[in-house]
Structure 1
């Protein structure tokens, strides 16, 4: 009994001790909760104070995002009265698309707005610059003869600050040999008393003092520049400048290249060096993995041993960033029906390029072919604004093949950004698709015979011999359809241009080897003609400034249109169906050929 009593007392003691321990733990948890709550309140107060400070320091007093149909409160002044400008609103941009003026004399056009009494302000502007002459921002504007202006020129590799005083231009500061590698810019101009601080894409360009003008309006200017796009402008009474934090990201792509019957190439760019990894397969559950141990920002991975006419899924992996799943379809080897999109000269006006893409994206097609000039300035590193960004949703699942145009300037970026079937010379190449054979040639020298930066194509040149061999090859001659794509047309046409070297060296080959259609661009518009048994189609309306029609041309020209356009071709055995569409997606031409 005594032993049992001792055991019971021990159990009671243990229960009592456990109860005390539990109470102590509860008290500790309660204290921790109070502590974290107090810290959270402090953080919230700090965050509120920080937000309050930012809202005070970044106080907006005026803003225009150009979202309406007309620019309200803006005044246009053209320096040359016989060269009118064309300022207008377009899809959220204030644009000016005429090359009026003389950059050498600092003459052009400008547009102004705001309060003449604005003094200590900060002006933030986002703008896009796809041409290469002068454009920029005006501030402390008194009248058309007195103001400051901040200018950039890709052609001259120049960033400039000058002032116009009583109609005379006076240079204040300049930065020469500036790469200006992007076509997109964020400009911040901070004005306080006599102090002027100017930032461009997070880089401080100028910091100086000048007391010529104390107050004034703001504005934009374009001097001989064919494409000036202003996205928005904000004026702050107080502004706290802070550098942007750049997060690791896939900044281009992924996009498809050279999707053939047994292989494909996938490319993408990152803003940090990392390995290239691709997962792919006929399903997403058990993908194969291709990995390159080389770290790079420019990723190019070839997938081999594909089955013809088969759908594959893929995604890319860069560091900790994994893309969504996309799909590709390998090329058929037999006479399977297919269709493709044709267009060209999409450079300069990315807004019209987007319109064209929105239209042809509604169609069924397997790939895209281009007549070249995919950018306005091939030597500028930024090929995204005019080309890759508008096409990004399409290129993830449809391959793109392009002839090289004169605006690419045989730039190293053409070879860096594309991966075409002939690695030895990607500026001219060929491939088979179903019952067709496609040949792409490099012929801008047809329009610019003295510019040796372009590849020679005349008889005796390396390219001429290659082209002749390709046309005579078994793949070409056994194909039901034989197409040649070039940038510059090879014959006289309705625009009034004549390219004698193309007529002399290329037309005889096209006739001899029975080329079905020669597709070309360069002259911005649409045209169809036929010489002997070959059709000649110009589709050069993807975004470039439209050409001026000089005369109707010979009677052989069936159709001509000075408008933005694209074409949709369908192949089914020995029948080819062709339709051309304008910017409104209206059919402007159609025909079919049955052999």
Structure 2
């Protein structure tokens, strides 16, 4: 049995320890789940579950399943977080690896960046468990590995020890490797993530695809007899048969794009070229299906002739070259609402290169159950890197994107790369488009391209705004017409800067005012800012355009100028998203941070 949860509270049955004092002990289960806190029964290393994870139960008990993309337990930051062993250490885990990559971290506090190697980490590399330690004597990490790979899907009891002289690795109670390269106290970095479930330092995030039942840290090096004794206490888990999920060639998705009142697009990716079928219906069992001709690895199926404002169930099916059928889980979607109905949408931007934060933001967005999401660009950090689209954007947000469509536009980091057009599906030419939802119309453009008055985009936008009869009009693009950022448009701490933001966008301001646009959504700057309603470069609370900077869904946070801008109504420096509720001529906007805390809200009336 399985179910996806946002939080884990860890319960530990304290065992009698005869050699080595436990500093921390976590045993994973959902029995006492409270506010996403992962409790350390022994010490003060209370953590927080980030991203996606699932609980399962077997004959032994419960365990935490990690997805490798975003699911981790964040225990804090060294040196400000929990106390860590210095002279001696033992690290223990009951773990199962379902998949093997270059690295998969179980627990660690370290940096491994070029010649700078500090701290310690327990994990596996290409199927071989390791325990790495850096000491004051060696001043670099020694990765002590097993000689052979372990079996995927099997539980293993892993223990790494270091006593200041000898560095050892045990697997299932047996000594697997040892070294005397390290000598002296553990050498920690100046700062480090303290994380369960990922090999994580400043420039790497390699999540564990597998299961954890227990993790413990000691401030002593356990002897061989004690390690064998600890193994005997958990041997039952290691004797379970290997449980590797039936191999599925569905590697990404499914996820939703471009929803209308009568249609929606469903995409997914497979590891092999395969067939494309979507089964769907208003209830189960599913009685309708649509397929795309030919075999492919990226699958895009458009469902049409659907009922407006109707809930549907769906799943995707692909058959690979060996004839084996891969079937996704069952998901839901809702078609766009009728014209007069109330609806809600969320707004995000700059999800780039931060799957844990984006995973957390996407979960908070899904908790609000919006009808759809707008994304103002910088979806990834480098558009040409395919894995950033799959592993850093799509997988961490799977819970949200499998049930809620995202309407996106490219940012500068997306590079107008082919991957944008591969993984994002919009009406041609895809870098600019408009859609109507309820009594609102959205106009999305690519501000990496020209928006000068004689440009193709400007002329298109001017025409579309002029013909719109929507009650509410919103524009979405990546760069800021107005921003109080400290240094993107001139260093405000040392000299003069642009009085607004990106000067290339100045022609858009007059166009928005003539068309009576209500809100302009954008990102690029990684923090939150809401302007007063503006017209003619003045505050106009009755007839102005609001400019809303929402660049806080993952990218490294930026800061504001040291003095307040004349147009600023609210600034906030934290990862965040916005939620907009609309009914008829009333609009309610809320800004919510990565902890689920409301920090700004406004109501507009027409």
TM-score, length-scaled by structure 2: 0.61
C-alpha contact 1:494 1:557 (8 A) present in aligned 2: no
Give the secondary structure class of the aligned counterpart of 2:387. Answer: coil
Equivalent in the alignment of 2:468 = 477
- Is 1:486 matched with 2:472? no
Is residue 328 of structure 1 aligned with residue 328 of structure 2? no
What's the secondary structure of 1:473's corresponding residue? helix
Equivalent residue for 1:591? Answer: 602
Aligned counterpart for 2:355 among listed residues 350, 354, 357 = 350
User: For the Cα contact (< 8 Å) 1:252–1:388, is it kept in 2?
Assistant: yes
The C-alpha deviation readout for 1:330-379, integer Å capped at 9, x for no partner, is 22463332111112223344333343334333324211112223333432
- The answer to whether the 8 A contact 1:273-1:297 is kept is yes
Of 497, 514, 526, the match for 1:524? 526
1:70, distance to aligned residue in structure 2 (A): 8.1
Contact 1:227 / 1:348 at 8 angstroms: preserved in 2?
no
Query: Contact 2:452 / 2:504 at 8 angstroms: preserved in 1?
Result: no
Which of 551, 570, 574 is matched with 2:581 structurally?
570
Deviation at 1:419, TM superposition (A): 0.8
Q: For residues 66 and 342 of structure 1, what CA distance do their matches in structure 2 show?
A: 37
**Within the alignment, does 1:543 sit opposite 2:520 as a pair?**
no
Give the equivalent residue in structure 1 for 2:437: 433
Instruction: Give the deviation of 1:245 after TM superposition.
Output: 7.2
Q: What is the Cα deviation at residue 300 of structure 1? A: 1.0
* The one of 104, 121, 145 aligned to 1:126: 104
Please give the alpha-carbon distance, in whole angstroms, between the structure 1 residues aligned to 2:421 and 2:390. 15
Could you tell me which residue of structure 1 aligns to residue 367 of structure 2? 362
CA deviations on 1:257-301 (whole Å, 9 max, x unpaired) are: 111123211011223332111122344456222223422232111
Contact 2:269/2:298, CA 8 A, preserved across alignment: yes
Q: Judging changes above 3 Å, is the alpha-carbon distance between structure 1 residues 228 and 264 closer, same or farther for their aligned structure 2 residues?
A: closer
Q: Look up the match of 1:371.
A: 376
Q: Would you say 1:456 and 2:460 are equivalent positions? A: no
Cα 1:244–1:326 shift into 2, 3 Å: closer
Does structure 2 conserve the Cα–Cα contact (< 8 Å) formed by 1:134 and 1:222?
no
Matched with 2:61 is none
d(CA) in 2 for partners of 1:465, 1:257: 25
Q: In structure 2, the residue corresponding to 1:542 is in which secondary structure? A: coil
554, 558, 569: which one pairs with 1:558?
569
The answer for the alignment partner of 1:314 in structure 2 is: 314
Superposition pairs for residues 257-268 of structure 1, below 5 Å? 257-268=257-268
1:390 aligns with 396
1:237-248 equivalence runs, <5 A: 247-248=246-247
**2:418 corresponds to which residue?**
412
1:457 Cα deviation from its structure 2 partner: 1.9
Specify the structure having the higher radius of gyration (Cα): 1
- CA separation in 2, counterparts of 1:234 and 1:586? 32
What SS does the corresponding residue of 2:291 show, helix, strand or coil? strand
TM-superposed deviation, 1:465:
2.0
CA distance in 2, matches of 1:429, 1:550: 33
Deviations 1:124-145 (A, max 9, x none): 96249xxxx9648999x8xx9x
TM superposition score normalised by structure 1: 0.62
Q: Describe the shift of the 1:219–1:427 C-alpha distance in structure 2 as closer, same or farther (beyond 3 A).
A: farther
Structure 2 residue ranges without an equivalent (≥5): 1-21, 29-37, 50-71, 98-102, 126-131, 144-157, 162-167, 169-178, 194-200, 218-223, 229-237, 320-324, 490-500, 536-543
Aligned equivalent of 2:511 = 509
**Aligned length, in residue pairs:** 467
- Is 2:484–2:560's contact at 8 Å kept on the other side of the alignment? no
Q: Name the CA distance, whole Å, in 1 between partners of 2:76 and 2:203.
A: 7
Q: Deviations over 1:193-239 (max 9, x none)?
A: xxx9xxxxxxxxxxxxx99769996978979936757779999999x
Aligned residue in 2 for 1:225: 202
Runs of 5+ consecutive residues of structure 1 not aligned to the other structure = 1-61, 75-86, 101-110, 153-160, 173-187, 197-209, 444-454
Is the contact between residue 346 and residue 373 of structure 1 (CA under 8 Å) also seen in structure 2?
Answer: yes
What secondary structure sits across from 2:397 in the alignment? helix
- 1:373–1:404 Cα contact (<8 Å) kept: yes
- For the 8 Å contact 1:476–1:482, the answer to whether it is kept is no
1:165-186 deviation per Cα after TM superposition (whole angstroms, max 9, x unaligned): 98999999xxxxxxxxxxxxxx
Q: Please state which structure has a larger fraction of its residues in helix.
A: 1
- Work out the CA distance in 2 between the residues paired with 1:115 and 1:222: 18
Q: 1:286 to 1:271 in 2, by over 3 A?
A: closer
Quick one: distance in 2 between partners of 1:316 and 1:472? 39
Question: How much has 1:481 moved relative to structure 2?
Answer: 1.5
1:275 aligns to what?
275
CA distance in structure 1 between the aligned counterparts of 2:425 and 2:452, rounded to whole angstroms: 27
What is the distance in 2 between the residues matched to 1:305 and 1:526?
39
